[in-house]
C-alpha cells in the first residue's frame, strides 16, 4: 500500500509456534486462550512479520525473521515452516537482496535476527543483504554478545556477528535516531536492553513497527506482556506512550508475531482496526 510517499509491503515469513506461557507471562491462560487457542503442547500460532518500505528511491527492510540457519531440532521444537520465506517474498516484489539499502532489526533475538545472515552452498556464513547498512542499538549488541544466564538461548552469534567481522555493515545507535530522512528509531528497551521501534514518517502519516513491544493483538492491552520481557514495567510505559500517539495521530501499527491481522490502527480507546491494504 501507499502511505504518503512510502510504499509499504508486509511479509509474513516463518510460520511457527511459541509456548503460550512465554507469550502471555502472568496473564491467566483462561483469558488468553479465548483469543489465541493453544494446541495440545500449549503452543500458539505465530508468524514473523517483516516490513519492506520504499522511500526516496531506497529499499528498507525491517525485521528479517528466523531465516534458514535454525538447527533441525530447534525447527521441530517451534514447528517452523517456510524458512526461506523472506527471500521468496522479496523476489515476488522484484527486489534482489543486494538492492536493499537499509536493514533494521528491532532486537537481536533469534526469531528477529536469524534472517540477517545465511549459509552459502559451501556452508560459509554470508550476509543476506550484502550492501545494506544495518541499524542496531549498541546496548542490544553488547548484551547479545554477553547475555545474562536467562537470555543466553535467545541469541545466536552466527545471526549477527558477521555484520561486524570483516564486513563493517552495522551502524550502532545510542538511543533515538533518524537514520534516513523520515526513518526514525526509538529506543524502548524493556523486552531486551536495546529493543527499538521503527517509525516511518511521511508528512503527518506514520507507520510503526513495534518489535516484541507488541507481539500479537492480545498484547494491545498494556499489561499483557511476554514472560520473556526483562523489564516489564518499562514495557508498560513504552506501550502506553506508543498507543497514545498511535491512536491520536492514526499511526499504522505492525505487530511482530501476529499471524492473522498484523497491521492496523488503534481506535476508540484501544479497538483494533486491521488495515487490509497492507499485504
Q: Which stretch binds Zn ion (CB under 5 A): 103-111, 122-130, 200-208, 258-266?
A: 103-111
Alpha helices, H only, 95-231: 110-113, 138-145, 157-160
Q: How far is 126 from 153, CA to CA, in rounded Å? A: 22
The helices-and-strands tally (H runs, E runs) of the chain is 8, 16
Residue with smallest beta-carbon separation from Zn ion: 109
Q: In this structure, what is the dihedral angle of CA atoms 161, 163, 166, 172, given to the nearest 10 degrees?
A: -100
- Give the number of residues in contact with Zn ion, rule: CB under 5 A: 2
CB of 228 to Zn ion, least distance (A): 6
Pairing outcome for strands 252-254 and 43-55: unpaired
Interatomic CA distance for residues 144 and 239, integer angstroms: 23
Nearest approach in angstroms of CB 52 to Zn ion is 21
Question: Out of 36, 55, 109, 133, which residue is the one contacting Zn ion (CB under 5 A)?
Answer: 109
Smallest gap from residue 108 Cβ to Zn ion (A): 9
Extended strands (E) in the chain: 2-3, 6-19, 43-55, 58-62, 102-104, 117-119, 125-127, 133-137, 170-173, 177-180, 183-187, 196-202, 205-209, 252-254, 263-267, 271-274
Nearest CB to Zn ion, comparing residues 106 and 201:
106
118 is an interface residue for Zn ion by CB under 5 A: no
Give the nearer residue to Zn ion in terms of CB position, either 63 or 82.
63
Nearer to Zn ion, 68 or 196 (CB): 196
Nearer to Zn ion, 212 or 275 (CB): 212
In whole angstroms, how close is the CB of 28 to Zn ion at the nearest point? 22
Site for Zn ion (CB under 5 A): which residue of 45, 212, 258, 275?
Answer: 212
Minimal distance, residue 269 CB to Zn ion, in Å = 28
Q: Which is nearer to Zn ion, 109 or 184 (CB)?
A: 109
102-104 vs 2-3, strand pairing mode: unpaired
Question: Candidates 63-71, 101-109, 129-137, 237-245 — which segment interacts with Zn ion by CB under 5 A?
Answer: 101-109
Which residues of this protein are in contact with Zn ion, per CB under 5 A? Answer: 109, 212
Amino acid at each position: 500500500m501507499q502511505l504518503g510517499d512510502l510504499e509499504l509491503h508486509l511479509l509474513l515469513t516463518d510460520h511457527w509456534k511459541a509456548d503460550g506461557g512465554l507469550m502471555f507471562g502472568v496473564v491467566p491462560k483462561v483469558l488468553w486462550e479465548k483469543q489465541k487457542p493453544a494446541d495440545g503442547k500449549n503452543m500458539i500460532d505465530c508468524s514473523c512479520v517483516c516490513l519492506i518500505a520504499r522511500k526516496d528511491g531506497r529499499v528498507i527492510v525491517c525485521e528479517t525473521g528466523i531465516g534458514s540457519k535454525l538447527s533441525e531440532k530447534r525447527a521441530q521444537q517451534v514447528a517452523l515452516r517456510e524458512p526461506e520465506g523472506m527471500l521468496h517474498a522479496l523476489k515476488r516484489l522484484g527486489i534482489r537482496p543486494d538492492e536493499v539499502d537499509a536493514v533494521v532489526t528491532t532486537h537481536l533475538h533469534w526469531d528477529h535476527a536469524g534472517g540477517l545472515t545465511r549459509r552459502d552452498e559451501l556452508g560459509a556464513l554470508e550476509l543476506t543483504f550484502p550492501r545494506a547498512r544495518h541499524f542496531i542499538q549498541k546496548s542490544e549488541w553488547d548484551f547479545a554478545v554477553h547475555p545474562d544466564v536467562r537470555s543466553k538461548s535467545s541469541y545466536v552469534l552466527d545471526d549477527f556477528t558477521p555484520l561486524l567481522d570483516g564486513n563493517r555493515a552495522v551502524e550502532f545507535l545510542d538511543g533515538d535516531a533518524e537514520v534516513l530522512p523520515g526513518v526514525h528509531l526509538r529506543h524502548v528497551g524493556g523486552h531486551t536492553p536495546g529493543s527499538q521501534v521503527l517509525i516511518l514518517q511521511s508528512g503527518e502519516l506514520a507507520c510503526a513497527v513495534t518489535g516484541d513491544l507488541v507481539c500479537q493483538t492480545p498484547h494491545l492491552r498494556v499489561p499483557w506482556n511476554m514472560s520473556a520481557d526483562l523489564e516489564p514495567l518499562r514495557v508498560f510505559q513504552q506501550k502506553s506512550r506508543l498507543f497514545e500517539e498511535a491512536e491520536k495521530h492514526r499511526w499504522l501499527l505492525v505487530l511482530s508475531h501476529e499471524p492473522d491481522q498484523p497491521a492496523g490502527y488503534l481506535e476508540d480507546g484501544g479497538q483494533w482496526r486491521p488495515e487490509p491494504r497492507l499485504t
